[in-house]
Amino acid sequence: MSMRELVVLGTASQTPTRYRNHNGYLLRWDDEVLLFDPGEGSQRQMLHTGISATDLTRICVTHFHGDHCLGLPGMIQRLSLDRVPHPVAVHFPAAGAEYFARLRHASSFYETAELRVEPIDADGQRITLGLGTLEARRLRHPIETYGYRLVEPDGFRALPEKLSAYGITGPAVGELLRVGHLDVDGRRVTRDEVSVTRPGQRFAFVMDTALCDGVYALAELADLLVIESTFLESEAALAAEVGHLTAAQAARVATESGVRTLLLTHFSQRYADPRRFADEAREHFAGELVVAEDLMTVPVPPRRVASAG
Ligand SMILES: [Zn+2]
């Protein structure tokens, strides 16, 4: 059984608090481990998660405000210190390439790890991965910011009783599912006759933005949406002014986009009681709701129900 889950390293915006580390998120998705927006302290937070630098395959940075990237120097040096044997891809807004170059070489170290630096320079840019497509969408924030989503294509799940009825076994099963049809004893068997659709899963990561089209594009039908809710509605005007979302806005996006599990995070330190985020979001979203805490693990919900043919 493959494992797909989010591990939260930190949940504070702007400055860490006694209870919240700076931002940072790990997405374990089968053989890939993606690190999103490592703020300060991410390396140490990782020690508590059972995931090591050697597990990392990809780093995605939404923008170069400190709470989303000041953990990069430590994480990048750690990859070399641990002699990570595989290349690690790094994505970030191309407009921030100078910041990335500085963070990458913030201090002296012996670089052995191979970073594949692949900046994002277009809204809707797609990167094809073995597990699906990573897509970046431009968000609305004072500096160039991209959110990300991971989209697994729909697949097919063979029905054993149908296969045996046609006498199809072994490698022929894979061929039938891949090609769409197979000739058996002079009769053409189609994929629809022996399988059901296996819906692909979607993960979306939306940080630091005012409400905009990109937010909806990313959230669409996400099984798990990680989204900033820096503020509450009482600060809605301030949120819009500085390019952030409120818990109510995030929850409405989730409802309108068919999201299944909604995870709120990136909280302003002005709010002492995190239940206020849950209370506000609950008025607008009826699905699975999580107000993130540091070091929690949140599973990607099981696949949507398969449909015939
Ligand atoms: Zn920011």
From the candidates 37, 67, 223, 294, give the one annotated as an active-site residue.
67
The pLDDT value given to residue 308: 52
pLDDT of 87 over the 50 cut: yes
Please tell me the pTM assigned to this model: 0.93
β partners of residue 115? 88
Beta strands in 130-201 (DSSP E): 132-138, 146-151, 155-158, 181-184, 187-190, 195-198
Asked if residue 20 lies in contact with residue 14, where contact means CB atoms within 8 angstroms, the answer is no
Residue from 71, 112, 119, 49 nearest 91 by CA: 119
Give the whole-angstrom CA distance, residue 239 versus residue 237: 5
pLDDT in tens, 38-66: 999 999 999 999 999 999 999 999 999 99
pLDDT of 307 over the 70 cut: no
- State how beta strands 24-29 and 32-36 pair: antiparallel
Any known ligand binding at 48?
A: no
Go through 4-38 and write b for each residue having 16 or more CB atoms within 10 A of its CB, e for each that does not: bebbbbbbbbbebbeebbbbbbbbbbeebbbbbbb
Ligand 1 centre distance from Cα of residue 13 (Å): 8
Any known ligand binding at 86?
A: no
Ligand 1 centre distance from Cα of residue 161 (Å): 53
pLDDT in tens, 14-30: 899 999 999 999 999 99
Q: How confident is the model at residue 309 (pLDDT cuts 50, 70, 90)?
A: very low
Phi first, then psi: give them for residue 177, nearest 5 degrees. -65, -35
Q: How confident is the model at residue 293 (pLDDT cuts 50, 70, 90)?
A: very high
pLDDT in tens, 194-217: 999 999 999 999 999 999 999 999
Query: Is 67 in the active site?
Result: yes
Q: Hey, how many other C-beta atoms are within 10 angstroms of the C-beta on 177?
A: 17
The pLDDT value given to residue 143: 97
pLDDT in tens, 128-182: 998 899 999 999 999 999 999 999 999 888 999 999 999 999 999 989 998 999 9
Q: Which two tokens stand for residue 189?
A: 């068997």
Any known ligand binding at 208?
A: yes
